Amino acid sequence: MEINGLDLISAAKTLGAGLAMIGVIGPGIGIGLVVQGALNAMGRNPDASGQLTTTMILGIAFAEAVAIYALVIALIILFVM
Amino acid sequence: MIFLGLIAVGVVFCGVVPFVVMPGMGYGMALPVITVPGETLTDSFLGTGLPLTNTIVGTLLADVVVLLFAFGATRKMKEVPGRLQGLFEVLTDALYNLVKTTAGAKNAAKLFPLVATLFIFLLTANWLELVPGVDSVGMMHCAEAGFSGYERDGVTLYVPKAMDSGVRATEENYEACHAAEAGHTDPTLEAAREAAITAAAAELGVETVDWKADVGNSNTLADYITAQGGDPEAVYQAAIEALGNAEGEAAHEEGATEGENAAEGEHAAMSPEDALQKALYEPFWRDDIFVVTSFVRAATTDLNLTLGLALLAVIVIQIFGVQALGVKYFAKFINTPALEDAGKNPMGVMDFGIGLLEIVSELSKVLSFGFRLFGNIFAGQVLLFVIPFLIAWIVPTAVYGLELFVGLIQAFVFAMLLLVFSAMAMEGHGHEEDAHH
């Protein structure tokens, strides 16, 4: 099979997208910590779980935003460039 | 019983339809084209000169759905609510309570309409990607270089086996396909092919020879004729004769169109002999690769919509802040009071610096609002495209459930962040001032 320039670009794109997604490790840990904290608090004070859930989801959203930046970079590499 | 019924329906639609029924009918599942910008359906919508993309259709569809539901729920309001009215009452009530607990009763009346509207609209727009037919039913056009597509079979895509992921188009494929679509094919070559196929059918004594079914992709017509026990040279002679006759008839027409042909220039005239040679001894089936552009695509998979909403959200936050605090609101960014107090409190200088950073954080809100929504929903869409081509059984259903959840959460997060930021902007440095009073 002959490998042309388009194949090489495609391979580089795939590798680049994969590397870009390394950035989701941090947010993954972060979201885990957020949920851990929220669950601890809910276990201690079940009455506050309503308020805590909302705040927890917001916290997750902030941590997730960073992962989304990595994802967007990967998507741009794959589908736009 | 209902559960068993659901499983049966799932088996039929996940297994029997894509793997047995559709290949039996000659259809297969085609991987939809994945592009970040919304695909253009027409360049000039109803003659206005504005391009219409499928994400705009998705946006309008989401609007219509929301309006229909809202209309249905509020048209005949009753003391004891019906189902739809009850659903809307529960939804509105829950949202209003949420706004009240987060922003306080005073600000709730002001924030609630915007927050609730955005939530309901985004929820509908996000969930639109889960409706069957969205993202998959559309029109065919040539695949651009680098995109995977399929060959065409009449008015449908030719997908050789179920769940085939297609062939990647090259630049030449696109050019040839586009030229053919626009009608720029070489008439001499087309006529030569026509003549060759007729002559071949006559030589082999069959009614007709089909390029696609009989000759195939990589074989030449000459090979086929030899394989069937015919003589390509005789076919060539017969076709030349047929072409010569046709040319005699069409000669005066040729004269009329000659000027045009000369003007185009690049389409160098091919002699009938060369054309026939090409038709016989070169593989015919042009690998035109087509993709499907869906008519509807979920609105939030377009960055234009999400960034637009993000800009709106951030501007509205500033407006709420100014309305609540007046000029003092800007002290959050250019913190002159802290600078004036610097004599008494040296930390004021740092507060001033932090205030400048607030401007950056305000700008980055646009990006984080817009990209969070877009990234989540677009990634979900890609996931829904790709998973059925990796594991076609059961797993796509789980992904469906996940996307249902993600769509809800992202709509909620967008509305919730707008609410929290607005509430923060309206309070300003409230706590410190309260402490002084």
d(CA B412, CA B23): 41
**Do residue B371 and residue A57 have CB atoms under 8 angstroms apart?**
no
**Do residue B36 and residue A80 have CB atoms under 8 angstroms apart?**
yes
Domain boundaries, chain A: 17-79
Q: pLDDT tens digits for B12-35?
A: 766 666 666 665 555 555 566 677
**Do residue B413 and residue A72 have CB atoms under 8 angstroms apart?**
no
- Closest by CA position to B300, among listed B98, B129, B106, B46: B129
Q: Kindly report the three-state secondary structure assignment for every residue of B148-180.
A: EEEEEECCEEECCCCCECCEECCHHHHHHHHHH
Q: What is the token pair recorded at B411?
A: 């709509």
Inter-residue contact B217 to B287 (CB < 8 Å): yes
ipTM of the complex: 0.75
By CA distance, what is A10's nearest residue in B?
B146
Number of neighbouring beta carbons within 10 Å of residue B227: 10
pLDDT confidence band for B41 (50 / 70 / 90): confident
Q: Would you call B6 exposed, middle or buried from its count of C-beta atoms within 10 A (0-12, 13-18, 19+)?
A: exposed
B28 against B391, higher pLDDT: B391
Inter-residue contact B119 to B417 (CB < 8 Å): no
Average pLDDT of chain B, as a whole number? 74
Q: Does residue A72 belong to the interface with chain B, where contact is any CB pair within 8 Å? A: yes
Q: Which of B39-48, B306-315, B330-339 has the lowest mean pLDDT?
A: B39-48
d(CA B253, CA B259): 11
> In chain A, which residues have their Cβ closer than 8 Å to the Cβ of B416?
54, 57-58, 61
Kindly tell me if the per-residue pLDDT of B252 is higher than 60. no
**Do residue A54 and residue B98 have CB atoms under 8 angstroms apart?**
yes
**Do residue B36 and residue A51 have CB atoms under 8 angstroms apart?**
no
> In chain B, which residues have their Cβ closer than 8 Å to the Cβ of A68?
371-372, 375-376
d(CA B95, CA B245): 80
Task: Find out if CATH 1.20.20.10 is the number for domain A17-79.
Answer: yes
Kindly tell me if the per-residue pLDDT of A40 is higher than 60. yes
pLDDT of residue B184: 54
Domain boundaries, chain B: 29-43+52-137+295-431, 185-258+267-287
